[in-house]
Structures are given as structure tokens and as C-alpha cells.
Structure 1
Amino acid sequence: MLARKLIDSHVHLFDHSAVSYSWMPSRGKILTEPHLPEHLLGSGLKAEIEGMVFVEAHSDGDAFLAEASFGQHLMDTDPKVVAIVADAPVERGAAVKGDLEALSRHRGLRGIRRFPGNPGRSLDEDFLAGVRLVGRFGLSFEFGIQHWALPYALEIARRCPEVSFALNHIALPDIKHDLREPWWSLIGQMGALPNVVCKISGAIAGADPVDWKPEQLRPYVVRAINAFGVERCMFGSDWPVSDLTHHYDAWVGVVEDALSGTSEAEKDSVFRGNATRHYRLTSPS
């Protein structure tokens, strides 16, 4: 595989001494250690990372403000960190305005990611009001969901056409059991909405973590790309959670293969250009 220049739209950067994530130790020992830009950039990748988007990682309690501050600190100290997607309690409705004001003091803030454990609550009026407020702050709202919550995300995007949305990890279809429907149909409906973009990221988490195969992933990745079009898809890694199942370059290869029928300009849009536009970044050289 040739070195692919890219902007990674989905990276989790953390240090437990700065912000606590109690869920991580149970997922794997590697997640108990700090994961900072230099750890990713120094891991012997074939891919050439020009920039990475800091994405919230479900910090404990009300640590979302501290987490965003940590993200801004990384931006201030490493030019490869180019944007922040933070957490915020949008279920508070209008009351989340103060939190959004505080978060917006960080120059790198570009989005908010939040979804309730009970997806039915996402259609509550307060949650929808909070999502609309995110849009009024000029921010993207990101869906970090699994396939079974896709109907709720679809309804939110339909009810909030003025808000820009980003669907993470192609909504994690059940690739392990090849459970195509209803994901297959719903991803097509989501792709038909002009206010939604899709991160081609993290899908290996829906496959067998030990025995996944590229040919199992390909139909799902191709389906997502076809549903949204190359102009509304962004490459993302989900690093370092991804390290639990695969090497970074392996996922780059999966996405490259799914884009095999596209032009080099279209590939560059997925790997760099679309993230640059969506997150309002300085264009890569």
C-alpha cells in the first residue's frame, strides 16, 4: 500500500491523569495507558496523517468541560490536532446553552457528540431542542450509535434539517452475523438527507474482533459510501480503540479497497477534503 495522506476525522486522545474514563480498563489494558498524538504518529504507520480530529470518549460524570479543555491543550501544543468534537448534555434542552458557551471558548470546537443510553429519549423535546441549539452555535452534531439506534438518528436528522450531522462508524452494522437489514435500508435513507455526512470509521468493531476479514467488511463499507456519495464521506480510524482489533493501516487498506472504483480526486475527498470542509479546517497542502 502506498502512503496515503489523510486527515483522520475520528481519534480519541486521552491521559487518565487529566480526565477519567472508567469504562476503558475493562475493554483492554492498552486503554489504561495515555494515548496522545505522538503515540499515533510514532507507531510506524504507512499512512501519512496530516491532521486528526479529537473526539470525546465518554468521560466520567460531568468531565466533558475538562475533556474539551484537554483537547484544546493538545491543539495548542501539536499542530496535527486540528479540531475538537466535545460532549455536552443536550438532553437538558435550552439549559445546555451555558455549557455550549463554555465549550465554544475553545477555538478548535467544531462538533458535539451525545446520545442517550435509552435511544427513545433522543426524540424527547428537550433533546431535540438541545440538538437544534448545537446547530445555532455553528457546530456539527455527531451520532455515536450502533445499528439498532439508526431509526432514532434518522428521525432526529429529519426533524432538525437546519443542523449538520455526522454519523460515526457507519452506525456499526452487525457484520459478524451479516445482519444487513434493516441497516442496509436505513443507511440509504440517512444518506438521502443532505444535512448528514458519514464517517467511514470503526466498522471492524461490528465484525468478529479476532477473525474479521476484509471481504466481510467490503459490502458494508461500499454500501455506506454509495449511500452518501464520496462527497459526504470522511475517513476515520477510531484509534486507539481500533488497536484492540486491528492495525491502523489495515483499516486504511479496507477503505482504499472500497474506493477502488473511484478517481484519485474522489479518494482524496474521502481521505482529506471532506473532513477539511466539514470541520472548517485550513486546507491541507
Structure 2
Amino acid sequence: MNSFDEKIIPGTIDAHQHLWQFDPVRDAWITEDMKAIQRDFLANDLLEVLTESGVEGSIAVQADTSENETAFLVEQAERNDFIKGVVGWVDLCSPAVADRLAFYREGSRKIKGFRHIVQAEPDDNYLLREDFCRGIAALGSLGFTYDILIYPKQLPAAIRFVEKFPDQRFVVDHLAKPLIREKRISPWAEQMNILSGHPNVFCKVSGMVTEADWQRWNADALRPYLDVVFETFGPERLMFGSDWPVCLVAASYREVIKVVRDYTGQLDPAASAAVMGGNARHFYQLEA
């Protein structure tokens, strides 16, 4: 069991970070302009940055479409109490998906949900595939969540997708990756407003710095996008996530968390605490 020092802010949870043992072939998405993260990032590295920023724990999220990585993340979480939960990968299109989900439900209390890298799929309507939706339908009875990782162009499909599953807990990763670098708000803002009309859909305040200009971003560049999600989802359905170590190509962990802490500083303390950890605890059903 790992312990934290006096810097820890009770209840603060990073709802989105990654761990990996870097493999240049498997991790080909980490391109030459991302050299800062072309290395291993393991639990001890994570513990250091969490402690420095007063974060109590985190959710480890898949970055590779393999059950091998899911097993790796579960192992890391079982060995390190500060990793409160895992969002893994399983083939949701497989005819055997129900059996695989049952295996995970029985295997570890640390696995909380699943994700597929839909943003990488050439079909913008991938979320609506019959076999994929069959897999999503199997999640709810076992209490698993689903993280929606998409680009803005896939938001119309995402809206139709969540309409199919009113009782499934969904969370949109990285604000659906708005075009911050291009300073574009529409139609992303209008589509996020529609998506937020479904009370079972949450949103992670994460991944913004890597959608902005990596060298010249500042808090003012991110504020219009924060304004949209705080107005639409409200602080009761938003959760802070760092997207560490991916964020390191554009900003340090401290810089990323400062943006959200400064923004939530204008809220009442209860709302700020919800965004910075309470909502993640509720959504992922984390143990106290």
C-alpha cells in the first residue's frame, strides 16, 4: 500500500490517465513530434506527479486495443491503492463479449468500465454498428461504464448512440476533442448541448492542451470550451482528468490541473469538489 504526504487534497481524483511500457511498434500513434512520451510510464511515475499536485488517486484508462493491456492495468491497480479503478478494453463486437465481461466482473473489483478508440475508426457511425451496440447492451447489467472517445465529426452518431441506452452510464472523454487549435466552437458546442440533454452522460474535463497549440496555448484559449461544458453538463456531471502522460507533449501535470482548479475556483466549494473528484467517485463507483 502506498501512502501520500500532507500535500494531498482529500477526495481529489484524476479521472483519466494512462500507464504503458513503451513499444515503438504497438504505440506507433506516439509519433516523432511526441518524443516526450516515447518511454515507459509506470505506477511509480504516476504516484510522483499525483503527490506533487495533491491528487488522492486516479482512473487508469486503456490506450491500446488489447486485453493484454487491460490485464496490465488491472495488475497495476491491484498493486497500487492510489489507482482507484481501470477503464479497460474488450472486444465489444465479439459474439463472446458477455462471457468476457463476466470474466472481468468476477476477476477484479478495480475494473470499472471499458473504452474503444472510436476516434480511430474510419466509419463515423461506428458507434451505431449492430454488433458494437450488442456489446454495449451487455455492460449495464454488470455495472460497467463506457468511455466515449470520439472526434467532433462523430458527435452526430454519438447523440443517436446514447439515445439507444438511456440507462447506461456514459462519459465523453476530452470534451469530444473540440478544434481548439483552430478556435472553432460550432457545431461542436451545439452538439455537446444536445448530448448533455441525456442525464446518464457525463463529460471529462481532460485532453484540452493537446487539442490546442502545443507551444502557445494558455488558459484563455481553453476557457470558451470550458464555458460550454460547464453550462451544458453542469458541475454535477463533469470530472477532471489530466490525460497524463499524453498531456506532457504540451504541458506539465501541474499546468493541466491548474487550469481546471482555477476555473472551478469560481464555483461554490461543493461544486468544485464534485468536479475535482466527487463525480468520478460516483460515476465509477469507487470504494471509499
TM-score, normalising length: structure 1: 0.90
- Shift in Å, 1:83: 0.3
- Shift in Å, 1:124: 1.7
Paired position in structure 2 for 1:100: 101
SS in 2 for 1:119: coil
Paired AA for residue 218 in structure 1: R
Which segment drifts farther, 208-217 or 21-30? 21-30
Does the CA contact (< 8 Å) of 1:115 and 1:122 recur in 2? Answer: no
- Find out whether 1:133 has 2:135 as its counterpart: no
CA shift in 2, pair 1:231/1:109, >3 Å = same
| 1:87 aligned residue (86, 89, 102) | 89
Paired AA for residue 39 in structure 1: D
CA shift in 2, pair 1:4/1:202, >3 Å = farther
* Aligned mates of 1:181, 1:201 — CA distance in 2: 19
- Shift in Å, 1:40: 2.6
- Find out whether 1:277 has 2:282 as its counterpart: yes
Deviations 1:30-84 (A, max 9, x none): 333111122133248642121111100024xxxx222121112111211111101
* Aligned mates of 1:201, 1:154 — CA distance in 2: 20
Paired position in structure 2 for 1:14: 20
Paired position in structure 2 for 1:219: 224
SS in 1 for 2:55: strand
Paired position in structure 2 for 1:142: 147
Paired position in structure 2 for 1:124: 129
Paired position in structure 2 for 1:24: 30
Runs (5+) with no aligned partner, structure 2: 1-6
Paired AA for residue 69 in structure 1: A
Paired position in structure 1 for 2:67: 65
Deviations 1:197-251 (A, max 9, x none): 1111111222111111210101101211221111111100000000010011112
Does the CA contact (< 8 Å) of 2:85 and 2:112 recur in 1? Answer: yes
SS in 2 for 1:9: strand
CA shift in 2, pair 1:27/1:120, >3 Å = farther
CA RMSD of aligned residues (A): 2.1
CA shift in 2, pair 1:185/1:169, >3 Å = same
CA shift in 2, pair 1:70/1:169, >3 Å = same
SS in 1 for 2:125: helix
CA shift in 2, pair 1:239/1:111, >3 Å = same
- Find out whether 1:171 has 2:176 as its counterpart: yes
Paired position in structure 2 for 1:36: 42
* Aligned mates of 1:265, 1:16 — CA distance in 2: 39
Paired AA for residue 41 in structure 1: L
* Aligned mates of 1:264, 1:77 — CA distance in 2: 33
- Find out whether 1:242 has 2:247 as its counterpart: yes
Does the CA contact (< 8 Å) of 2:115 and 2:147 recur in 1? Answer: yes
Deviations 1:100-157 (A, max 9, x none): 2333322211111014402223212111111111222210111111211111111111
Paired position in structure 1 for 2:4: none
Paired position in structure 1 for 2:55: 49
Does the CA contact (< 8 Å) of 1:175 and 1:217 recur in 2? Answer: yes
Paired AA for residue 114 in structure 2: I
* Aligned mates of 2:127, 2:78 — CA distance in 1: 34
Which segment drifts farther, 245-254 or 100-109? 100-109
Does the CA contact (< 8 Å) of 1:166 and 1:198 recur in 2? Answer: yes
Identity of aligned residues (%): 29
SS in 1 for 2:282: helix
Paired AA for residue 133 in structure 2: L
Does the CA contact (< 8 Å) of 1:123 and 1:156 recur in 2? Answer: yes
Runs (5+) with no aligned partner, structure 1: none
- Shift in Å, 1:28: 2.2
Which segment drifts farther, 83-92 or 21-30? 21-30
